[in-house]
Amino acid sequence: MSGAADEPILQTGHLLGIDALSVPEIESLLTLAERYVALNRAPEKKQNVLRGRTLINLFFESSTRTQSSFELAGKRLGADVLNMAVKNSSVSKGETLIDTATTLNAMRPDILVVRHQDSGAAELLSRKVDCCVVNAGDGAHEHPTQALLDALTIKRRRGSFEGLLVAICGDIAHSRVARSNIHLLSKMGARVRLIAPRTLLPADADRLGVEISTDMRKGLEGVDIVMMLRLQLERMGGAFIPSAREYFHFYGLDREKLNCAKPGALVMHPGPMNRGVEIDSDIADDVEVSLIREQVEMGLAIRMAVLDALARGLPREGRNAA
């Protein structure tokens, strides 16, 4: 298995977004992740890539999949992992993001994984700390490891991205998953079609270089992969949809709408799902079409690959010396 002595992969020493990644960087991460898929399926899963290193998970927004997979990824690679529960930290007493980061920085971590409700938070932190920063979701901006795990899932099923038509459906305006996926899929040669009511399309949708449809049935025609998104109620300042029931009627993925896509089309969702709002349980739980569980498995492998890639750029000695 690869070690810190292997070829560097990430040029910047951080993973802040897909926008800044080159195609070779993405391809190398996907290739490295394949090795971790195999490792995770083996009985002995422990590696030394991060032995002696410290990883801090700093999550200002709740998370199930992302936080637990970064924790497990760090542990499987041999790191000491600290999960900062923001609710129990000084943040709840009014400490700012920068104060918290500076405090954690003084403990000399090697990698800081951060999720924050504000777009740009991870980038800001990366300028204030001495360690590698991984963006685990910043507001409605980017969620790079989600797009990478989605790409790994698609690549394993379809072989390549060239010529694939991927529909990203639902609450695109508030979704960092959509933004990161648009960047990644476009870079890798896939066609992207956004399907959403006008109110849930981002203001700059026309400038994203993607196809746009406001009609779910028509929009799904010819689609190979249907990527559903959660309605991000926590990021909605007002009413963007008349009611959840009406939303499901027009935009919720059920068998009848899925039949409008290409025969054999596959369905994805980053989770957590609102069953009966953006996706019918009948589809979500159908292992013939749903890749949702596979996405979770690929999430762990991708996070291990990202941590491994960052470890290669860590100083062997000196940077953390007092």
Residues that bind ligand ASP (CB under 6 A): 137, 143, 176-177, 230, 232, 270-271
Of 78, 11, 89, residue with least CA distance to 44: 78
Task: Give whichever of 132 and 177 is closer to ligand ASP, judged by the CB atom.
Answer: 177
Cα 210 from Cα 30, distance rounded (Å): 23
Which of 171, 122, 182 has its CA nearest to residue 147? 182
Please give the Cα distance from 203 to 199 (Å, whole number).
Answer: 9
> Cβ of residue 61: shortest distance to ligand ASP, in angstroms?
7
SS3 112: strand
Query: Which residue's CB is nearer to ligand ASP, number 231 or number 258?
Result: 231
Cβ 133 to ligand ASP, closest distance in Å? 17
Number of H helices, E strands in the chain: 11, 9
Q: Are strands 54-59 and 266-268 parallel, antiparallel or unpaired?
A: unpaired
- Is the Cβ of residue 74 or residue 139 nearer to ligand ASP in the bound state? 139
How wide is the angle at C-alpha 285 spanned by C-alphas 283 and 291, nearest 5°? 85
Nearer to ligand ASP, 277 or 311 (CB): 277
Q: How far is the CB of 16 from ligand ASP (least distance, A)?
A: 15
Nearer to ligand ASP among residue 45 and residue 275 (C-beta): 275
